Structure 1
């Protein structure tokens, strides 16, 4: 322990006890050290502040980490290179702020080969800048050991990927999928998913929708698949991939809350699991939307519970944009008794927009304008005609 001398109040000097291990000791020491380094290399320090809007404290830190940059020849050549391939000033500023070490990158050996790979994949000019400025760390990874082999694996899964659209979508959603050697997680996870029966288009769909599953630690991925299988999904079913995607998006607590909502409306646990197996997306549907849907079908129009058990995807339709407008249209048609047989509401909900307009509005030209107004959300009551709910099935 250091001996600490305390002076009297009259002493012109004041020493305060401070051990070398105290945080304030290191902060003072290192800030002073960084400031000294910045003074040794004022060119880089001022360049970072003036051209890339770096805070002074961060500029100080970078100067200490990159003491070999003594002139602006290399940084300016890097900036010129990015401009030459169509990057805007905003793109370059974002790149350098995220990854300042790019200022010392070898253009011929490091940057050009990586940029060319992405140009060959279909990116160029502003599109390349928009992509790279958000994925700057990608330019720090090994081209031959990481980037190229990872992309090869992804392209093999995403077959028939026109213009590599899905490839870039996957990288935008989860950059880490191309940031480590594929032997670490990507390939083992792909092989495991294939062993579970998730192959071909199912594997490609899962990759597009939930790419992070492909870099999840393998033990965790196996545990997740095990839980999905315990819910009744089968390895020889195409629904397994959908179930895995949906279940990976929710926590255990959220899953229990969703089950609680269904139970509060009288559904048993087996019925809940059956609906989830038929429509796994229910797990990713908001609690509010589920409540509104169940309330509408069971209480507002008094549909049988079997309707939702057989077609749980009804709960995923937008109430404002699809369910209520189409309900109003069918109400109006049925109230005017234009058909001998009442229209099926459920069948109407599953029609495309064009088919619905043709089948339920265009076929009644005499009231088409009124039907269109109802479809846009205006609740109409016809002259003295009672409004009768449409047939559900």
Structure 2
């Protein structure tokens, strides 16, 4: 009873401001005690910006996605223009998933005027023979293409690319991969670069392959292309050859310093200068492999398989094969077949590693299955990194 009275008096004292606790509170602000006991979770959250809420409600973007896309759209306070843009895209065959991909890359498209900006761009492509499906594919794959689809910019390029590419689908693929084909100057960059490649004896088919398969080649500076060709010449490759083309493609992807480092690495693995350049001449793509890949594969071929470096340099394509998915499991199975007496003589690794999977199965797995029923399972397990014997 005494305790109850004591606690009651303390509570009354606190409310009256007479308790010792009151010295911690500013007497001039009676609301301060309430604020001290109010958590941050109870504070009202800031109002969601209009455009963020719009992107969430109209396209189902997550809050982080909508926030990211809204960075350049903060000035939009009304749904009228964004609504017209979304309606235009949907009427032209774009799914909401397509529109999301476009906004992630080029969110300012929501600011575009449908009648004066978007419709003319689509009409240009249709006039040039592109189907709605092709237009959708192009813009979804490379939303920045919308920035360059004006009549005077696109028409001469498409006519020029028709020389090297067989179809509108090929042109869509090329532009989708490399916006430079639309953004770079046709007269000052693209045409001079292709003229130089022709001087290097690249056929129209080779140039078309570059347009489709290699990003950021045709849009480079001419000096950059000349530097790459010079490096290819220094390896002793002749213009017009297939190896010259492959080396050129490889060097477009890696720097001169990387090439020098790879050559130095291969030398450190024991290749003589003549073996090294023989390997690169036959397989220039070796220079694009990682240092780890090169070291581990050469180490396996020499120490586990027993290859001489001279053999590897004569068959450099085996260095580019997957170590874990092809070289190791096939070598393992071939050794097992040999030990079981199913083969009369040892077969060089290049002979069985370089053939297709189908041919390998037919020639070395299924043909011996009757005499060694477990062989398919052994090979399958080895390919998964598990060795049964």
TM-score by length of 1: 0.73
Match of 1:121 in 2: 130
- Residue 136 and residue 47 in structure 1: after superposition, are their counterparts in 2 closer, same or farther (change >3 A)? farther
Answering whether residue 321 of structure 2 is matched by residue 317 of structure 1, we say yes
CA deviation profile, 1:112-150 (whole Å, cap 9, x unmatched) = 3433565643552xx855642452222122422222332
Alignment of 1:216-365 (within 5 A): 216-365=220-369
Mapped partners of 2:216, 2:71: distance in 1: 34
CA contact 2:365–2:375 (8 Å) conserved in 1: yes
| 1:375 corresponds to | 379
| Structure 2 residue 164 is matched with structure 1 residue 157 | yes
Q: Which has the larger radius of gyration?
A: 2
2:93 counterpart of 1:51: no
**Which residue of the other structure, out of 74, 78, 86, is the alignment partner of 1:79?**
86
Aligned with 2:152 (options 145, 155, 159): 145
Cα drift, residue 189 of structure 1: 0.8
What is the number of equivalent residue pairs in this alignment?
325
Per the alignment, do residues 287 and 88 of structure 1 end up closer, same or farther by CA in structure 2, a change over 3 Å counting? same
User: Secondary structure of 1:274's match?
Assistant: helix
Q: Residue 172 of structure 2 corresponds to which residue in structure 1?
A: 168
Question: How far apart, CA to CA, are the structure 2 residues paired with 1:72 and 1:338?
Answer: 75
Q: Give the match for residue 188 of structure 2.
A: 184
Q: Note if contact 1:361-1:372 (Cα within 8 Å) is conserved in structure 2.
A: yes
CA shift at 1:78, angstroms? Answer: 2.5
Alpha-carbon offset, residue 73 of structure 1: 4.6
* Cα distance between partner residues in 2 of 1:322 and 1:168: 35
Instruction: Give 2:143's aligned residue.
Output: 136
Taking a change above 3 Å as real, the CA distance of residues 116 and 360 of structure 1, as seen in their structure-2 partners, is farther
Q: Is the 1:141–1:179 contact (alpha carbons within 8 Å) kept by the matching residues of 2?
A: yes
Quick check: 1:298–1:304 contact (8 Å CA) kept in 2? Answer: yes
**Structure 1 201/368 Cα, relative in aligned 2: closer, same or farther at 3 Å?**
farther
* Structure 2 unmatched runs, 5+: 1-47, 56-65
* Cα distance change, pair 366–100 in 1 and its aligned pair in 2 (3 A): closer
Query: 1:107 is matched with which residue?
Result: 114
Cα pair distance change 1:82/1:304, threshold 3 Å: same
Distance change >3 Å, CA 366–CA 244, structure 1 → 2: same
How many Å separate the matches in 2 of 1:231 and 1:182? Answer: 31
Shift of 1:341: 3.4
TM-superposed deviation, 1:84: 1.0
> How big is the shift at 1:225?
1.1
TM-score by length of 2: 0.74
Provide the C-alpha distance between the structure 2 equivalents of 1:314 and 1:145, rounded to a whole number of angstroms.
49
Alignment root-mean-square deviation, CA: 2.9
CA distance in 2, matches of 1:269, 1:145: 53
**Counterparts in 2 of 1:102 and 1:366: CA distance versus 1, 3 Å:** closer
Offset of 1:233 from its aligned partner? 1.4
> Following the alignment from structure 1 to structure 2, what is the Cα–Cα distance between the partners of residues 57 and 345?
57
